[in-house]
Amino acid sequence: MEIHRPPSATPDSGGKKKHGWFRNKKNKKPAHQGNAPQGNALLASSSQGHVAQGHVAQGHVAPSRAPQPNKIPHHGIAPRTDAKHFGGDKLRIIPLGGLEEIGKNIMALEYRNDIIVIDAGMSFAGPDMLGVDFIVPDISYLEARKNKIRGMLFTHGHLDHIGAIQYVLPKLGNPPIYANKLALGLIKGRLKEFALDKSAKLNFVNELSKLKLGAFEIEFFRVNHSIPNSMGIYLNTPVGSVVHTGDFKFDHSPAIDRPTDFQRIAEIGRKGIDVLMVDSTNALRPGFCKSEAEVAAKLEEIIEKTKGRLIIASFSSLIGRINQIVNIAAKNNRKVFLSGRSMIDNVKLAEELGYATYPKGTVRKINAQANSMPPSQVLILTTGAQGETLSALTRMAMGEHSSIKIREGDTVLISASPIPGNELAIVNVINNLYAQGAKVITNNDMDIHVSGHAHQEELKLMYGLIKPKCYVPIHGELYMRKGHIEMIKTVADPSMLATCLDNNGDVLEISKQGVRKSKEKVPANDILVDGLGFGDIGSRVIQDRKVMSEDGIVVMLFHAYEESKRLISEPDIISRGFLYLKESEEIAREVKQVASKAFEQITQQNRKIPLKDLKGELERNISNFIRKRLRREPMIIPIIMYA
Ligand SMILES: [Zn+2]
């Protein structure tokens, strides 16, 4: 999944997250399991492989319902859940994020003295998490075992898979990173922003690479997604093997990538897979996900037919689609102007890494030329497809963009689907664009966007190719993952067992006796990021912000004699976001009276009352009065100054 900035976000922060903020997590601290650290054992990272290159492979593609024994049974385990017989030599799979949200994907695989980490993503904060820019995963479990970490593997370069790298990497003692070309470029860019790129141990791997990291034998396979170079991962240990699909879809005509290598996936399946961890983002959508080629054809048709200026808003990580748009623009004698920081950065990186196939000089940064050139020769490629507050498209719609003024005759294409929660913001942007004179085409009008995630028929195909003993849906909220299991159950061989890990921090164990869910819970809370602080705000701070945002704040200032606890004068009242007290003198007077009376009563009953208790009692009294009088619950802060 690609995550995008929400309407409330600044260009570099903020975002959308669908679940609520409060999660009552009572994770017990797990016992430390590691023994002596073991050195890094990268034995091989070969570039030569045995993988059929090129297009859709022949054979082993059709999913079969008939049980098929794995051809290379490396240990022949039978899935069972009987705890009594469960062995001590275990491979533990621990998703620390990505199970309760779309985003923040990170998973640890632990076998004896070795840990492999897959992805390190962030997620954006929901509108209920006031002021929080984004969320990173809780990696305290890994921090306590950082000597065991042999490497971090990345499936692809989306922010929900790499976006927490600047937080995770230093905390885990800078373990080596393994990623494909584009993901590696994006990781490097992100680390550079935080001056961590020089020390990072960046290793290029592709679908042909084989690694031996500690006890783990690791291989990769090519999948398609909405960003090039996405890979699934195969990991084998002495007690069991796992396949992690990463985010994937099957696309026979992708924009810039090569199609999925089915033969390779079937080959991985024939190794005998104990556990398959599968992307659930579109598990509730029937059929097949459309190909990126269909989007290109539709965009080409629109670009050819349109006479006026064209503005296309899309996701800046859709490197393949952007490349297609620029090529179509060049063919139609249009210059492409890039608008929005991430669009400019990603196109630059794509050019540097060799992903761009368009003629040189076709693309330029946005400037006033886009207003003065003949409209039929201009195409503006911009961020802001989700209606984000400060994005380039929103600024254009508001008439606040520094270079572009929307005018009669402009056509705006929104080549994206709204992420749930962003619909209203997008409608606002569309209304404003129309008000400025533009015509807007969205995915509702024509097929100008496709998802990057497998629909149900593609998921079934993945199961048919891998034929795991057990499967665990990942990447998605609980209802998506439960739906995923129900859907696969209807077609899968009954011997294929489903396990649902309900929450982040749940642990799956594989031993020679089988696969089971452990009773153990590993800490997996949300680490909130606000500005430069990681995890320095928690539920209390957010709750305070919420109270203040809803009903404001009332500060009561008491001047009293310390000994007698008599008030020297009437309390002062200061408020923000509560009432404009100058215009509500009566209320202010009443609050002051209640506060005075409460102070006198409390202190006369107990002159030695500790300050903390006195403040608590005052807060309760004033709060009760305001609630009864106005049905409001502002934050009350009593301040007591003794003479
Ligand atoms: Zn993704």
131: left (phi over 0), alpha (psi -120 to 50) or beta: left
For residue 434, tell me if it sits in a domain. Answer: yes
State which amino acid sits at residue 135. I
| CATH code: domain of residue 571 | 3.10.20.580
Tell me the pLDDT tens digit for each residue of 572-599: 999 888 887 777 888 889 999 999 999 9
Given 403, 423, 441, which residue is the final one in a domain? 441
Q: Write a three-state SS string for 437-455.
A: CCEEECCCCCCCCCCCCCC
* Lowest mean pLDDT across 177-186, 275-284, 350-359, 582-591: 582-591
State the total domains in the chain. 3
Measuring CA to CA, which residue among 473, 474, 534, 542 is closest to residue 140? 534
Distance 155 CA to ligand 1 centre (A): 9
Distance 225 CA to ligand 1 centre (A): 7
The reply to whether 469 and 610 lie within a common domain is no
The reply to whether 256 and 301 lie within a common domain is no
Active site residues: 279, 453
- Token representation of residue 540: 């209390």
| CATH code: domain of residue 346 | 3.40.50.10710
Dmax (CA) for the chain in angstroms is: 92
> Torsions phi, psi of 503, nearest 5?
-125, 155
Q: What is the mean pLDDT of residues 239-254?
A: 95
Query: Whole-angstrom Cα distance, residue 496 to residue 493?
Result: 6
Distance 102 CA to ligand 1 centre (A): 10
Distance 185 CA to ligand 1 centre (A): 15
For residue 205, tell me if it sits in a domain. Answer: yes
Residue 247: the pLDDT is 95
The reply to whether 283 and 299 lie within a common domain is no
For residue 604, tell me if it sits in a domain. Answer: yes
Task: Identify each DSSP E strand in 488-565 by its residue range.
Answer: 497-498, 506-511, 514-521, 526-530, 533-534, 553-560
| Residue written as token pair 């809780």 | 138
Distance 235 CA to ligand 1 centre (A): 20
Residue 341: the pLDDT is 92
Distance 289 CA to ligand 1 centre (A): 15
Query: Whole-angstrom Cα distance, residue 211 to residue 188?
Result: 21
> Torsions phi, psi of 574, nearest 5?
-125, 135
Distance 1 CA to ligand 1 centre (A): 3
Distance 168 CA to ligand 1 centre (A): 19
The reply to whether 126 and 269 lie within a common domain is yes
For residue 336, tell me if it sits in a domain. Answer: yes
For residue 156, tell me if it sits in a domain. Answer: yes
Given 393, 411, 441, which residue is the final one in a domain? 441
Distance 157 CA to ligand 1 centre (A): 7
Distance 553 CA to ligand 1 centre (A): 42
Query: Whole-angstrom Cα distance, residue 562 to residue 160?
Result: 56
* Lowest mean pLDDT across 68-77, 186-195, 280-289, 375-384: 68-77
Distance 535 CA to ligand 1 centre (A): 25
For residue 41, tell me if it sits in a domain. Answer: no
Residue 87: the pLDDT is 53
| CATH code: domain of residue 87 | 3.60.15.10
- Token representation of residue 395: 């600024």
Query: Whole-angstrom Cα distance, residue 609 to residue 574?
Result: 25
Residue 86: the pLDDT is 59
The reply to whether 269 and 146 lie within a common domain is yes
Virtual CA dihedral for 335, 340, 345, 350, nearest 10 degrees? -50
Given 407, 441, 475, which residue is the final one in a domain? 441
Owning domain of residue 110: 83-287+451-522
- Token representation of residue 146: 């950082």
Distance 602 CA to ligand 1 centre (A): 59
Task: Give me the sheet containing 216-222, strands edge to edge.
Answer: 210-213, 216-222, 231-237, 240-244, 275-279, 470-474, 497-498
Residue 158: the pLDDT is 93
CB under 8 Å to 541, separation ≥6 — which residues?
none
User: Over 80: is that where the pLDDT of 39 sits?
Assistant: no
- Token representation of residue 13: 């922060």
Distance 156 CA to ligand 1 centre (A): 7
Between 533 and 134, residue with greater pLDDT: 134
The reply to whether 226 and 310 lie within a common domain is no
The reply to whether 458 and 425 lie within a common domain is no
For residue 629, tell me if it sits in a domain. Answer: yes
The reply to whether 298 and 335 lie within a common domain is yes
Rounded to a whole number of angstroms, the CA Rg of the chain reads: 29
Distance 317 CA to ligand 1 centre (A): 9
Neighbours of ion ligand 1 (CB under 5 A): 1-2, 158, 247
Q: Say if residues 319 and 227 touch (Cβ distance below 8 Å).
A: yes
- Token representation of residue 297: 């054809």
Q: Which residues pair with 218 in a beta bridge?
A: 211, 235
User: Over 60: is that where the pLDDT of 56 sits?
Assistant: no
The reply to whether 509 and 551 lie within a common domain is no
Query: Whole-angstrom Cα distance, residue 394 to residue 390?
Result: 6
Query: Whole-angstrom Cα distance, residue 235 to residue 28?
Result: 28
Burial of 562 per CB tally in 10 Å (0-12, 13-18, 19+)? exposed
Q: What is the mean pLDDT of residues 169-182?
A: 97
Residue 386: the pLDDT is 87
| Residue written as token pair 């897959």 | 118
Q: Say if residues 279 and 245 touch (Cβ distance below 8 Å).
A: yes
Distance 246 CA to ligand 1 centre (A): 8
- Token representation of residue 249: 């879809």
CA angle at 563 for the pair 557 and 569, rounded to the nearest 5°: 35
Tell me the pLDDT tens digit for each residue of 442-501: 988 888 899 999 999 999 999 999 999 999 999 988 999 999 999 999 998 888 899 999
- Give CA 330 to chain center in angstroms: 34
Measuring CA to CA, which residue among 235, 294, 207, 188 is closest to residue 91? 235
- Token representation of residue 633: 């619950």
DSSP codes of every residue in 451-488: -SS--HHHHHHHHHHH--SEEEEESS-HHHHHHHHHHH
For the chain, the average pLDDT equals 84
Distance 234 CA to ligand 1 centre (A): 18
- Token representation of residue 575: 């408020």
Question: How far are the Cα atoms of 546, 558, 572, 634, 640 from residue 581, in angstroms, in the given order?
Answer: 22, 18, 12, 14, 21
The reply to whether 298 and 283 lie within a common domain is no
For residue 38, tell me if it sits in a domain. Answer: no
Distance 158 CA to ligand 1 centre (A): 5
Residue 563: the pLDDT is 85
The reply to whether 161 and 179 lie within a common domain is yes
Distance 84 CA to ligand 1 centre (A): 39
Query: Whole-angstrom Cα distance, residue 597 to residue 312?
Result: 64
Residue 52: the pLDDT is 31
Q: Write a three-state SS string for 59-116.
A: CCCCCCCCCCCCCCCCCCCCCCCCHHHCCCCCEEEEEEECCCCCCCCEEEEEECCEEE
Burial of 354 per CB tally in 10 Å (0-12, 13-18, 19+)? exposed
Residue 542: the pLDDT is 76
The reply to whether 580 and 499 lie within a common domain is no
Q: 551: pLDDT confidence band, cut at 50, 70 and 90?
A: confident
Question: How far are the Cα atoms of 51, 148, 232 from residue 466, in angstroms, in the given order?
Answer: 16, 29, 12
